[in-house]
Amino acid sequence: MKRVLSILLAIMIIFTVVGCSGGEKADSPQTDTTVTEKEGKESDDKSDEPEGEEDPILSDEKPELKILTYYTGFNMEEQPSYEVVEEMTGYKVKWFNLPQENADEKLLLEIAGGTSYDLLMRMSTNQTNQLYVQNALVDLKPYLDKYGENIYEGISDMSLEALTDEDGMIYAIPHEPFDEPQPGDNPYGVLKGGIGFNSTYLEELGKDIPKNLDEFYDVLKAYTDKTGKPAFTQSAVGWNNHILAAFGMGDPSWYEIDGEYVHRIKHPKAVEYLAFMQKLYKEGLLDNDFPVNTAETAKEKFANGTVIAYPVMFWSIDSIYNAFEAAGLDAKVKVATYLAPDAETDPVVYIRQGILNTTCIPKTAENPEHAINWFNTISDKDNFEKIYLGEEGDSYEIKDGSYYPIFPAFDDFTNSDKFTGVAPASNVFQMWQARARKTDAMAEIYDQMNSRIDEYKTEYYYENYAASLEAVQKNKMALDTMVNDSLIQAIVDGVDPQKAIDDIIEEWDKTGGLEYEEAMKNWYKENKDKFN
Amino acid sequence: MATKQKHKISVFTIINVFILSLFGVITLLPVLHVVAKAFSGEGPVVAGLVTFWPKQFQTDTIKYVLKKPEFLSSFKVSLFVTIVGTAIAMFLTVTVAYPLSKPELKGRKFFLYIFVFIMLFNAGMVPNYLLYRSLNLTNTIWALIFPGAFSVFNMLVVKNYFESLPETVEEAARIDGASNMQTLYKVVIPMSLPVLATVTLFYAVGFWNNYMSGVLYITDPSLKPLQQYLYDLINEALETIDATGNIADIDSAMNLTGESVRAATIVVSTVPILLVYPSLQKYFVKGITIGSVKG
């Protein structure tokens, strides 16, 4: 009897479970139909619209917009910019955030579950691409043509083209970074970090700030010889871009070598770079604990005066000076920016071009026209400046062509970049620099880093445009991690650098590197002519 | 003989106390480290000079955290979810466990099978998400409460405890004219305080520490639970750097929260749940000492 009961129970439960999942399946086409119906309605609406001046979208009551954006450490609605934008556009906005972790999965779940956001703002290119592949995005072209005049003005053709498919569908609006100069712009300000040196220790050694690889080695060697301590520390990274610069590389992962597009692991100078890092490690100049360093522990060793050098970014300078003071060090930081190979060769700085993130509209949106109209309003040149920096003389000022913040008014603009549309102004990069000069120490170090910018050769790189290629998304992250880990291993083990690089390349080819390379090479061949 | 035994016990006790104290200290040290950081100036923290005692003592970071609107809103959400959630959960648990503890309940086995089945098998995250979505519960406070509002395991613990209570006491109550509900609330529950305190603690800690529901069901930042806020805050530095070590979002990298503020946030958000333990402690002791049937 008992057994019969359990079997019956099991069967009942199975039926319930199957019933449930069946219900879900039945649900999804329903959602699709709603979407199609809605789209149908929309197109009908459009054809019914009179061709006159009175566009109800622009004149009628404005609905509350639901906008999903990426993770922000703050509530968008608590920011001072929130009200500025509301007043400017006349739209009330309810902001939603993706979580910091598993954002991609969460986004797909939200959209597949049918949540109706009017705008997905600042999604990664990867996220937009996934939604596009799932056919979950609206073609923005008709809306942009009608309501997006400022948006068109604010984006480069190349970025727009990257988000337009073969059928002419624009599936997302690109956001280009504000913190990089455009080709032809004044590159002053592009250097934001480097290898920071403790000025007191430099003076004690009687050395100047190193500009090339030999000088760099020379300073480190002198410090370790004198103190017996490691001279340089960093967190667990295999590629140090400031040192790589001396080997003809830098921030980019890809380089054109003799007409071929090559990843840096296959760069002819990769072996030399590894040999140099091994030498630093073996001679104890590079902190032997660096493979287990976190960003914090590496910073500690520099801030409490153990090492003479550590990679710094301009914005961490105030905390370093506070720490110097707490540790009883009377020192400043002198920065060695991207190193030159030798005294005769000019150093090179690579400037990133590409799409930082993207804004799109899901098919489940209830107010796509209003969303574009809203985005267009915040992308207006004057409105952009007002949201981003406020009023000149009130929250910022221009001294000798450079932008400086005025406090306390500028405090309201700390996170204002999250409220801006696309950047229509040509001097966005100069405007961004107000943020780099928030404190005297930051301004000083930022200007110090850029004081030698004239000596630098500038090269623009465009690999970020390829970020949404399928082969790149599939392989890049795992390969980057593999290369990073193997490089650290090789630096520590001190094995023959040529063999170490060969081994990494073998692993690279085996684990998707060839597919990634082929995609990048084809993309480069097709798009090379568009690069300046 | 008696002294010998006493001697034996004391050696054991010494070792025991030593090992347990060592264990206690080992678990306490990281907590002390975080507390020390929370009350230290940023300089000593960045320079790695703070171990277990604050340097450049200050309380500004704690004040800053307590004034931060995002923290306050998350704190309120978690407090509400914990109090209301635990109340709902205890009500459901007790009202399910009590009838199931009675052998004379018709279909008792059947219901128990169902409960055990759902304890062992569940639908998983995506179907749950779709369920909450179709019930229009996503982005509501209930999406943080319902997923934890009933635990079969806790119910079984309570049921077993109810079963262990002497039937005679309930019979006495019934003879005095008490209804089923009166018996439950006036006789059974007061006798079961130890298990109820334990289960309350399980639920309360579960709700307070719940992180997944926030990630899964909430995109409205004003409903973000405290644990998610904390997790995001601690990990935000990692997000600004991509796999090649390059900085992906420079404006976010520039505005990272300082280490002492992070430590202060951890301290402030841990205190409330720590306060629950001592207030429930007395029930544990009472529960053991109270005897219900005498003579």
ipTM for the whole complex: 0.84
Residues A427 and A444 in one domain: no
Q: Determine the average pLDDT of the residues in A436-445.
A: 92
Predicted confidence (pLDDT) at residue A46 exceeds the cutoff of 50: no
CB A185 within 8 A of CB A428: no
Non-local (6+) Cβ contacts of B5 within 8 A are: none
Residues A307 and A425 in one domain: no
- Look at residue A33 in the predicted model and tell me its pLDDT: 37
Interface test mutation site (partner A, options B119, B130, B213, max chain A beta carbons within 10 A)? B130
> Which amino acid is located at A443 in the chain?
A
Taking a C-beta distance cutoff of 8 angstroms, is the pair B224, B77 a contact? yes
Report the domain count for chain A: 2
Query: Which token pair is B184?
Result: 């439950």
Residue B156, min C-alpha distance to chain A (Å): 20
Same domain for A346 and A445: yes
Pairwise CA distance, residues A94 & A175, whole Å: 21
Q: How far apart are CA A82 and CA A54, in angstroms?
A: 29
Assigned domain for A64 exists: yes
Per-residue model confidence (pLDDT) at position A36: 39
Query: Do A178 and A432 touch, CB atoms closer than 8 A?
Result: yes
Q: CATH no. for residue A99?
A: 3.40.190.10
Q: What is the average pLDDT across A19-27?
A: 38
Q: Which residue among B110, B130, B219 sits closest to A24, beta carbon to beta carbon?
A: B130
CA dihedral A152, A157, A163, A166 (to 10 degrees): 110
Structure confidence at residue B252 as a pLDDT band (50, 70, 90) = confident
The class that CATH gives domain B60-289 is: mainly alpha
The region of weakest confidence among A32-41, A282-291, A514-523, B22-31 is A32-41
pLDDT at A47: 41
In DSSP notation, A216-266 reads HHHHHHHHHHHHSS-SB---S-S--HHHHGGGT--S-SEEEETTEEEEGGG
Mean pLDDT to the nearest integer, A186-209: 93
Sorting pLDDT into bands at 50, 70 and 90, what band is A326? very high
Q: Residue B245 is nearest to which of A100, A237, A435, comparing CB atoms? A: A237
CA distances from A527 to A132, A161, A332, A530, B4 (A): 22, 11, 45, 6, 90
Q: Are A206 and A219 in contact (CB under 8 A)?
A: no
Residues of A within 8 A of B227 (CB-CB) are: none
Decide if pLDDT at B1 tops 50. no
Tell which residue, B184, B202, B197, B195, has the closest CA to residue B158. Answer: B195
Whether the pLDDT of residue A1 is over 50: the answer is no
Q: Please give the backbone phi and psi of residue A20, each rounded to the nearest 5 degrees, phi first.
A: -60, -50
| DSSP three-state, residue A353 | coil
Which residues in B lie closer than 8 A to residue A179 (C-beta atoms)?
250-251
Residue B32 near residue B24 (C-beta atoms within 8 A): no
Partners of residue A326 in chain B, C-beta under 8 Å: 41, 43-44, 46-47, 49, 55-56
Across the interface, whether the CB atoms of B255 and A304 are under 8 A apart is answered: no
Q: Do A80 and A118 lie in a common domain?
A: yes
CA dist list (Å): A218 to A205, A210, A211, A231 = 11, 8, 11, 11
Q: Which residues of B touch A178 (CB under 8 A)?
A: 251
- Which of A64, A67, A72, A240 is most worth mutating to test chain B (most B CB atoms within 10 A of its CB)? A72
Contacts of A75 in chain B (CB under 8 A): 69-70, 73, 221-222
Output the pLDDT for position B278. Answer: 81
Please determine, for residue A259, whether its predicted confidence score (pLDDT) is greater than 80: yes
> CA B113 to CA A329: how far, in whole Å?
70
CA distance B129 to A327: 51
Q: Are A331 and A307 in contact (CB under 8 A)?
A: no
Nearest to A323 among B46, B252, B254 (CB): B46
DSSP SS3 for A396: strand
Question: Are A376 and A234 in the same domain?
Answer: no
CA separation for the pair A97, B229 (Å, rounded): 12
- Cβ contacts (< 8 Å) between A4 and chain B: which residues? none
Helix axes A381-388, A80-89, angle to 10 degrees: 160
Residue whose pair of structure tokens reads 């710094």 in the numeric block? A312
- Cβ within 8 Å, pair B244-A480: yes
* Alpha-carbon B151 to chain mean position: 13
Q: A367 and A242 in contact (C-beta within 8 Å)?
A: no
Burial class (CB in 10 A: 0-12, 13-18, 19+), B140: middle
Mean confidence (pLDDT) of chain B: 87
**Residue-range definition of the domain harbouring residue A244:** 193-352+438-530
> Tokens 């790589």 map to which residue?
A244
Yes or no, beta carbons of B221 and A237 under 8 Å apart: no
Alpha-carbon separation of residue A475 from A472, A508, A509, B198, B247 (angstroms): 5, 10, 11, 49, 20
